[in-house]
Amino acid sequence: MTMLSLSSSPHHHNRRDIGQVMRIVCYATIPGIVANIWFFGFGILIQIVLAIITALVTEGVIMELRRKKTERVLKDYSAVLAALLLAISIPPLAPWWVIVIGTFFAIAIVKQLYGGLGYNMFNPAMAAYVMLLISFPMQMTSWLPPLSIAEQSHTLWDAIHTVFTGFTSTGFNVEQLKVGVDGTTMATPLDEVKTALLQGYTVTEAATDIIFDGAYGKGWLWVSIAYLLGGLLLIKNKVISWHIPGSMLASATLLSLSLFLIDGDQYASPLFHIFNGSLIIGAFFIATDPVSASTTIKGRLIFGAAIGFWVIIIRNWGGYPDAIAFAVLIMNMAVPLIDYYTQPRTYGHKNKTSKDS
Amino acid sequence: MFSNYDQIIERLSLNQLWDFPGGVHPPQQKKLSNQSNIEFLQLEPTYYVPVKQHIGVEGKLLVAQGERILKGQLLTASEAPFSVPVHAPTSGIVAKITQHVSAHPSGIPELSVIIDADGQDTWTELKPVPDYAKTTKSELIQRICDAGISGMGGAGFPTHIKTNNNKPLEFLIINGIECEPYISSDDRLMREHAWQIRQGIDILVHILRPKQVIIAVEDNKPEALETMSIACQQKNNYQVVNVPTKYPAGGEKQLVQVLTSREVPSNGLPIDVGCIMYNVATCYAIADAIVEGKPLIERVVTLTGRGFKSPKNVWARVGTPIQSLLLHGDYDANTQSSPRFIMGGPMMGFTVTSVLTPIVKISNCILVPADNELPHPEDERACIRCSACSDVCPASLLPQQLFWYSKSKELEKAEEYNLFDCIECGACAYVCPSEIPLVHYYRQAKADIRNQREEKEKSDKAKVRFEARTARLQQEKEAREEKYRLAAEARKASMNKDGGAAKDKIAAALARAKAKKEAFAKEAENAQSAEKIKTKENASEVTDSSALPKTKVMSVDEVATKVSASQTEKNDSSTKNSVDGDAAAAKRKRVAAAVAKAKAKKLAADKAKKENEEL
């Protein structure tokens, strides 16, 4: 008799595998990346290419060492996504070795040493970002002004040249590229406000700087909006749920609004906080990393809200101008606890360990 | 959480239902098989009827090998309350009663009656109930049991047990949801036999007296919904409701929640929230059993999937091997790289291990998917904790945690996360992007836990027994020691109380003992002397036999012999002594002779010397 082939139920599958999910997230960053290139030049593209190559090589070598199915693992695109997220988080013209070290750290240490995909406690991109920020503070804070107000414009070739040699093809270094049309060195809007506040200016006074366009940094606003668009597409396609980005933006808004209403001179408005820096990227692309985020519905709300809270706290009182990475890492550590106390009530059960009402 | 009756009725009348959490929307594929009428099959040459086809215990076999049987004849008797009989699907001869591959994922052989059909298909005598409305509840329930009816929706729970209800019942729910993709057997049954289903419902209403009957049909079956509505329109308290299509809306617990917003308690039954649920096919079978007197020997089975050239629904007798259904649906082997036949639907069905697997009372579908239709799952990847599974879980479990604990065999944790509330609907595995066979892990963990429980129960019992024994022995020992202690104390106490008397007592006891000893010694002496006297008497007996008491009959000869024997003995011993003496005397004589000889020799030598000297 011929052997019948056997399988376990269900025999049906909706055909969306990890690789597909990860790829969709990658695609969703495209609007933001395009906007970034438009306003800040081609640097980001070079960082992305370097990061992805480093990630694939690192992951591939480790898979070979662990004797796993290398090709199959690489095809899950998780390494590509982690590299991509790190690349869009660092200054576009940072030296090549920064992103290479960072990506290697993200993949080899944060992800694989914890057991590989699914086992890492921390968000690899954010852990690597923090490592880079602490190790190479100068390179990691050399953000460029938008091209429209930069004294020196740079081409794709200039960007490549700068990333690999530190100088453009015409001999300018990053410091020189940072100089705006008014002759002063430019900083990010968040930096600018922080410095101004330290010097005794008000937020409103700080916002008169050339890098600002109303309350928002020139270029930064549109980059944020482009990432927001990509994020909303992810929610629409059910790749991520609204809970984490929703609660994160809501709590950041609420907290910054309260502070703003208390003292508008000392504390920036909610819109300033949302559309400057990487709050949008953080809310839709970083904090939603499934592996290191909370898994229950209520847990996700708490997780997101807490990140939003920490971001505003650190931005206002911390030593760093932006705080997504720190906030995410802090909450990564709290995930097991959150998950434990937010278990949903099972069908037919009375409330037990969960805090359900 | 517990909506009251009136609220529910009001919402039902507006077809405003509740929802259950989670759920998935796999492609329906119902159109593949629901386009034509249910077909009848030709008689099979051989049927394989498993003795047990439901939850509970199997009945006792009533037929023997070689016996001629009629269609509908009882093959087993139900003796235990949880047993349901099985009947002959056609007339013929019992060819064998043996182990045959089971309609179970494992395919483990189970006891089956193998029947060679005679082609006549002759019914046994049927005993319909003339008017069920005038028949008692218990009689009807007995009839349902005798007809071999167990839940036909999938679980196979004995219907008579469910129907024998004494708790207050608000909603009798008739399940026509059929939420599994592909399957259309209930759909066709409702379309073609709505009246008979209604009859079955009427009988159940007569027995159970519910306040309200709800007939629930998923909105992907508009024709069935219409026929059921027409069949039930004269009844005031029958409400046909249109349930939004979502898998697994047809799960018992989920449907109760959708219709009433109530939740069946964990480890409880729907009756705990005032509901009882029957599948439409079960209602049809109940009508058959009561009105026609026919036992449950056939059911509608969907033959579907792109592996069939002509998918359809058929009336298949219980015990039909699926190979003949494959033939009937024009199975196209070219569509499959390796043959794969699923009994049941794509979400909860199982692959059969043999084409001789029989149709049983709960088999509603044979699904033969083409290779590209339901591809084999790829190797599982790591769980990325995306919680897509918990988003679709209808029981609001955390499947990713259950998976984690099931895989790492942390069974206690798995139980803590309510593993046993998993209904194995497969929604989680359906959406899992890592293609982890989650349900498979849960089944394994459940089986492991059940085994552990059994073992624990056994060892607990043994432990209890052992501890009881140890305790008993200890108790006995203590009681014994206590007794000794009390006795010793009492002795001591009485000694202290009147020491003199006690001493006297001891002295008396000693004296008694001494006296006893002396008496004993005396006795022994007496006995010795008595023996001597006896011997003397014996001697006198010999000399004066006439003086012997009459009772002691001993002839003179005998006595003489005895005496002479004793004398001979004495002589012997004296002879021995004399022999000893003779030996010594002989020695002496020999020595004396030798001395004499030597003397004589000396004398002779001296004489010869003298003679030589003289010469």
Domain boundary among B440, B464, B487: B487
Sheet holding B238-243, edge to edge: B238-243, B212-218, B171-176, B275-279
Q: Encode pLDDT of A170-222 as tens digits.
A: 778 777 777 777 767 767 888 878 888 888 888 877 777 777 776 677 788 89
Does the distance separating the beta carbons of A118 and B351 come in below 8 Å?
no
Q: Tens of pLDDT along B132-160?
A: 999 999 999 999 999 999 989 877 889 99
The residue type found at A223 is V
User: Which residues in A166-274 belong to E strands, given as ranges?
Assistant: 212-213, 216-217
The answer as to whether B179 is a domain residue is: yes
Q: How many domains would you assign to chain B?
A: 2
Residue ranges, chain B, pLDDT below 70: 1-2, 497-503, 530-583, 607-615
Interface-testing mutation among B272, B398, B421, with chain A (most A C-beta atoms within 10 A):
B398
Q: Which of B328, B323, B372 is nearest to B343 (CA)?
A: B323
Name the residue facing B437 among A4, A8, A12 (closest C-beta).
Answer: A8
**Of B353, B355, B384, which is closest to A117 when you measure between CB atoms?**
B384
Instruction: Tell me the angle at which helices A124-135 and A324-341 cross, rounded to the nearest 10 degrees.
Output: 140
What is the pLDDT at residue B583?
67
Q: Is residue B148 a contact partner of residue B355, using CB atoms and an 8 Å limit?
A: no
Alpha-carbon separation of residue B593 from A48, B579, B588 (angstroms): 147, 20, 8
Structure confidence at residue B609 (pLDDT): 66
In a mutagenesis test of the A interface, which of B336, B373, B381, B423 is the best target, namely the one with the most A β-carbons within 10 Å?
B381
To the nearest whole Å, the CA of B348 is away from the closest chain A CA by: 5
Indicate the DSSP class of residue B292: I
Task: Give the per-residue pLDDT at B580.
Answer: 55
Cβ pair B353:A76 closer than 8 A: no
What does chain B come to in residues? 615
Q: What is the pLDDT of residue A353?
A: 46
Residue count of chain A: 357
A352/B contact by beta carbon, under 8 A: no
CA distance B424 to B440: 9
Minimal Cα–Cα distance from B456 to chain A, Å?
26
CA distance linking residue B99 with residue B113, whole number of Å: 9
pLDDT of residue B603: 78
The answer to whether residue B261 sits within a structural domain is yes
Which of A3, A13, A118 is the closest to B430 by Cβ? A13
Residue B557 included in any domain: no
CB contact under 8 A, B24 and A349: no
Closest by Cα among B417, B83, B390, B13 to B238: B13
What's the CA dihedral at B201, B206, B207, B213 to 10 degrees?
Answer: 50
Q: In angstroms, what separates the C-alpha of B176 from chain A's closest C-alpha? A: 22
Residue A355 has pLDDT above 50, yes or no: no
Helical H segments across B119-232, by residue range: 137-146, 159-163, 185-208, 222-232
Residue B543's pLDDT is: 47
What range defines the domain where residue B461 resides? 388-487
Is residue B356 assigned to a domain? no
pLDDT value of position A161: 85
State the average pLDDT for chain A.
89
CB contact under 8 A, B346 and A10: yes
The closest alpha carbon to A31, from A280, A253, A218, A323, belongs to A280
Q: Which two tokens stand for residue B372?
A: 């590209």
Chain A residues within 8 A of B344 when measuring between CB atoms: 9
Which of B268, B339, B440 lies closest to A2 in CB terms? Answer: B339
Q: Pick left, alpha or beta for residue B71 (phi over 0 → left; psi -120 to 50 → alpha; otherwise beta).
A: beta
Provide, as residue numbers in chain B, all residues whose Cβ is less than 8 Å from the Cβ of A6: 340, 351, 353
What's the whole-model pTM score? 0.79
Boundary-marking domain end, from B267, B293, B319? B293
Is A183 in CB contact (< 8 Å) with chain B? no
Give percent of chain A above pLDDT 90.
58
Mind listing the pLDDT tens digit for each residue in A80-129? 999 999 999 999 989 999 999 999 999 999 999 999 999 999 999 999 99
Q: Cβ–Cβ of B395/A118 closer than 8 Å?
A: no
- Cβ–Cβ gap B384/A291 under 8 Å: yes
pLDDT value at position B391? 92
Considering only CB atoms, A346 lies closest to which of B181, B369, B396, namely B396
Instruction: List pLDDT tens digits, range B338-388.
Output: 899 999 999 999 999 999 999 999 999 999 999 889 888 778 889 999 999
- The per-residue pLDDT for A266 is 86
Q: Judge: A17–B381 Cβ closer than 8 Å, yes or no.
A: yes
Residue B195 lies in a domain: yes
Is B82 within the bounds of a domain?
A: no
- Each residue's pLDDT tens digit, A11-25: 998 878 899 999 999
The last residue of one of the domains, among B262, B293, B324, is B293
Cβ contacts (< 8 Å) between A344 and chain B: which residues?
A: 390, 396-398
Tokens read off for B456: 């624990």
B62 occurs within a structural domain:
no
Provide, as residue numbers in chain B, all residues whose Cβ is less than 8 Å from the Cβ of A5: 338-340, 351, 376
- Return the structure tokens found at A283: 């809310």
C-alpha dihedral, A239 to A57 to B435 to A246, nearest 10°: -20
Higher pLDDT: A232 or A209? It is A232
What is the reported pLDDT for B596? Answer: 80
pLDDT of residue B552: 46
Interface touch A347/B417, C-beta < 8 Å: no
pLDDT at B496: 74
Task: Please give the ipTM for the structure prediction.
Answer: 0.87
